[in-house]
Amino acid sequence: MDVASIPRFIRNALDRPGSVGIGAFQRVAAQAGAREDRFRDLAELPRPTLDDLADFCAIAREAARRTIDMRPFDVQLVGALALLSGHVAEMATGEGKTLSGAIAAAGHALRGKRVHVISVNDYLARRDAEWMGPFYEALGVSVGWVGQSSTPEERREAYARDVTYASVSEAGFDVLRDRMATSAADLIVPEPSVAVIDEADSVLVDEARVPLVLAGAADPGADAPEAAELVRRLSKGYHYELDEQGRNVFLTTKGTDAVEKALGGINLYESPDELTRINLALHAHALLTRDVDYLVRDGRVQLISQSRGRVATLQRWPDGLQAAVEAKEALPASETGEILDSITVQGLIRRYPEICGMTGTAVAVEEQLREFYGLKVAVIPPNRPCVRVDEPDRVYGTVTDKERALVDEIAKVHEAGRPVLVGTLDVSESERLAEGLRAEGLSCVVLNAKNDAEEAAIIAEAGARGAITVSTQMAGRGTDIRLGEGVAELGGLYVIGAGRHPSSRLDDQLRGRAGRQGDPGGSVFLVSLEDDLIAQHAAGEALPPADQDGVVRHKRAGWIVGHAQRVAEGANLEIHRNTWRYTRLLELQRGQVLEQRDKVLHGESAADALARARPERWKELTESAGEKVLGEAARQIVLYHLDRCWTEYLGFMSDVREGIHLRALGHRLRPLDEFHREAVAAYRRLEDEVARRSVETFENAVITEDGLDPLGTGLARPTSTWTYMVQENPFGDAFDRVLRRLGSTGGGRRRSGEEE
Ligand code: ADP
């Protein structure tokens, strides 16, 4: 039945609550099609307005055809219109989201908005900006990109364009660094306006609670080796235990006794510094595994980013955990730092008044997109129907049986020359598999610890005849896999998942690498009942037995796997909600501090305040140093204390969060309420403290006609700063554990970072 012939009220009822109908967009795309000829023969395309969307689409289509040799399909226009209306467009892999996103970004820009296209990584930011460049130019829209190695000047220039492409981390780091500017001329990022987010679910949901951090240099943690040595002597199950999900580790009473004794009879729970140190060492010892969570190369710890499954170059954990892991590996401690400021990805994105995005897997997170961002999903049909064959999971009793089956299956498929792409869950699995294949005389390419550009080039070849590519989840994301000569006749690309992911979206993203644009293709997942997913999230379930050959044919097998995945998804959502509950207030306060900071930076509010507080001194200094110099000195004094007090506030609140559960338990209070009460009170103190310290400094400051002497006045800022992304937060451990004991789910986490 034709969709248009269904009465509207039934169509509305068929729509999922979080989804938007696309009928109106389809009609505009059809109108644009009818006007195609009108623009085909024009020597010069008019600059479109957004008053007539069909005209805009027709002109954009013609511009893309002329400049980048792609005539946008109707579904791409429909996707772009959904983005222009502020939705998340669900479009499958290979449908051409890059072009849809560019049409939408151009549309937003032509409405007079400044647009940031948030891409998955630096490589794609640059590739997409350069690829789409001529298209933008034809529409009179300027475009730029930012990458990790861009200089401040290049960044400022890129952000001055109508459309700027940047990865979420670069965009966030620029916002954080701006936060430390001591002169308005040093600012880099303009006011946020529109964000067009590529791989929207991964940014908005999976990475939402990840903090982006700006840190400044301080002393290295000298005590870490001692703590590492101490925890190395503790035994699992006796001195410490892991929770059922293996995310948290905690000392037992026996363990606490042993540690207290080793530390000279202290009371651990009355020595917060010692407790933190021991917890960090224990976390590094019991939860972080070499070659899974990090590699040791050239005497340095290199993190493996879990969501990307590759070495995150230049990344580090923040202070404590980094030192703990270095001590565990008996490496010298690298420089550590103090957190000057931080913002979560969710907080970063919510700064944009308008948000939209595209991804292959949005419907599964419709609820979160609505809850956290007020976004709705528009499901865009494929240009050509998908004919990929997705086989049911094959379940094995043990990892050994699964891995053997994996090698056999790859060998069988490869025999005919059909290309195989294997998705593994972590680096060590990739390496084991590559070894297994080699033993069978099969050569493969392994992607996991390479840079994005290299990965992209390799993954692009994964559809060639006879190719075997082994890759962790995100390797080469955003790169097209085209089928080689004669591969379609062999059935197209065959994707094998070496285990189901903690979210069905990740499974779907892996599957989606085959069968793009109506290509033939196939997918299957091999799962073992010993996989982490099952062990952690279906722990209480009775597991069906395997047959002689190691295969589990029992009909419960499939259910268990799906069940474990749903439990994992639920746990992740709970962690997301929980983190947001705790960070929301801090981010509101951060916004207020920044508003104040802006006034100091751009105006005379510092001078006014100090002149009012100490009129005598002000008068005296005006005479000796001059009004202009004095105004600038006042600005520097207040900025310094504002930043300093905020840093201290963040540190204080992180301690509060860590200890809150104990206090809340003692007083039968809800931890969150208690946390909020503390935050509100401490924030009020912060405001008073900034004023008090600023006046105090002003009274003693060395100010001459040459200006303020910052060192003489004791206002030294950190000599070096760096930024990183925290993957997960280990400091919540004790806290989350109690939460879980109280019946809610919390989460343990891990940090990783990026250093400059
Ligand atoms: P996605 O991000 O949706 O997976 P991409 O934007 O990477 O897809 O595009 C996939 C491929 O399809 C690219 O190689 C691109 O050149 C091609 N493509 C996209 N749109 C068109 C079009 N309208 N006509 C021809 N090729 C297109």
Whole-number Å distance between alpha carbons of 694 and 241? 48
Give nearest CA residue, ligand 1 atom 26.
70
| DSSP labels, 91-145 | --TTS-HHHHHHHHHHHHHHTT--EEEEESSHHHHHHHHHHHHHHHHHTT--EEE
- What does the mean pLDDT of the chain come to? 85
Known binding-site residue numbers for ATP: 76, 94-98, 480
Residue partners of 534: CB distance under 8 A and separation at least 6: 527, 528, 543, 560, 561, 564
Most informative mutation of 61, 69, 70 for ligand 1 (most atoms within 8 A of CB): 70
Contacts of 352 (CB under 8 A, 6+ apart): 116, 192, 193, 194, 195
> Which of residues 160 and 330 earns the better pLDDT score?
160
Structure tokens at 154: 């290049």
Banded model confidence at residue 292, pLDDT cuts 50, 70, 90 = confident
Which ligand 1 atom sits nearest the alpha carbon of residue 71? 23
Q: How far is the CA of 350 from the centre of ligand 1 (A)?
A: 29
Q: Say which residue, 428 or 306, is predicted with more confidence.
A: 428
Tokens of 635: 């600005």
- Token duo for residue 589: 């306060």
- For residue 392 the two structure tokens come to 């049911």
pLDDT value of position 199 = 93
Question: What ligand 1 atom has the least distance to the C-alpha of 94?
Answer: 4
Q: Residues spanned by CATH 3.90.1440.10 within the chain?
A: 220-335
What CATH number does domain 3-205+348-379 carry, 3.40.718.10, 3.40.50.300, 1.10.20.60, 3.50.50.60? 3.40.50.300
CB atoms within 10 A of CB 756: 12
Give the DSSP letter of residue 184. Answer: G
Going by pLDDT thresholds of 50, 70 and 90, the confidence category of residue 26 is very high
Beta-strand runs (E) in 637-710: 703-704, 707-708
Distance 358 CA to ligand 1 centre (A): 14
User: Is 463 a pocket residue for ligand 1 (Cβ < 6 Å)?
Assistant: no
Nearest Cα residue to 146 out of 82, 86, 190: 190
Q: Is the pLDDT of residue 25 over 70?
A: yes
Say how far apart CA 46 and CA 48 lie, in whole Å.
6
DSSP state, residue 528: E
Q: Which CATH superfamily is domain 389-569 in?
A: P-loop containing nucleotide triphosphate hydrolases (3.40.50.300)
Confidence of residue 751 (pLDDT cuts 50, 70, 90): very low
How far apart, in whole angstroms, are the C-alpha atoms of residue 610 and residue 701? 12
Identify the sign of the CA torsion 578, 582, 585, 589: negative
As given in the structure block, the two tokens for residue 22 are: 């696309």
Nearest ligand 1 atom to alpha carbon 64: 23
Report which of 667, 656, 655, 683 is spatially closest to residue 585, judged by C-alpha positions: 683
For 714-733, how does the pLDDT look when each residue is reduced to its tens digit (9 = 90+)? 777 776 677 777 654 333 33
Confidence of residue 426 (pLDDT cuts 50, 70, 90): confident
CATH 1.10.3060.10 spans which residues of the chain?
A: 599-717
Kindly write down the DSSP assignment for every residue of 229-284, as one continuous string: HHHHT--BTTTEEE-TTSS-EEE-HHHHHHHHHHTTS--GGG-HHHHHHHHHHHHH
The ranges of the chain annotated as CATH 3.40.50.300 are: 3-205+348-379, 389-569
Q: From the CB of residue 177, how many other CB atoms can be counted at a distance below 10 Å?
A: 21
Residues 6+ apart with CB under 8 A from 676: 585
CB contact at 8 A, 294 and 317:
no
- Considering the entire predicted model, what is its pTM? 0.79
Biggest CA–CA distance in the chain, Å, is 94
Helix, strand or coil for residue 66?
helix
Alpha-carbon distances of 115 from 57, 162, 175, rounded to whole Å: 18, 6, 15
The alpha carbon of 1 and the centre of ligand 1 are apart by a number of angstroms equal to 29
CB of 73 within 6 A of ligand 1: the answer is yes
CATH topology of domain 220-335: Pre-protein croslinking domain of SecA (3.90.1440)
| Nearest residue by C-alpha to atom 15 in ligand 1 | 96
Indicate whether residue 261 lines ligand 1 (CB < 6 A): no
Q: What is the predicted pLDDT for the residue at 675?
A: 85
Residues 18-34: what's their mean pLDDT? 93
Smallest Cα–Cα separation from 443: which of 463, 425, 464, 470?
Answer: 470
Q: Is the CB of 460 under 6 A from ligand 1?
A: no
pLDDT tens string 144-173: 999 988 999 999 999 999 999 999 999 999
Starting at the edge strand found earlier in the chain, the sheet holding 211-218 runs: 336-344, 211-218, 721-725
Q: What Cα–Cα distance (Å) separates residue 336 from each residue in 66, 319, 715?
A: 53, 5, 21
Q: Which helix (H) or strand (E) holds 577?
A: helix 556-602
Give Cα 265 distance to the centre of its chain.
43
pLDDT tens digits along 459-508:
889 999 999 999 887 667 778 899 999 999 999 999 999 999 999 999 99
Superfamily for domain range 599-717: Helical scaffold and wing domains of SecA (1.10.3060.10)
Ligand 1 center–CA 354 separation, angstroms: 25
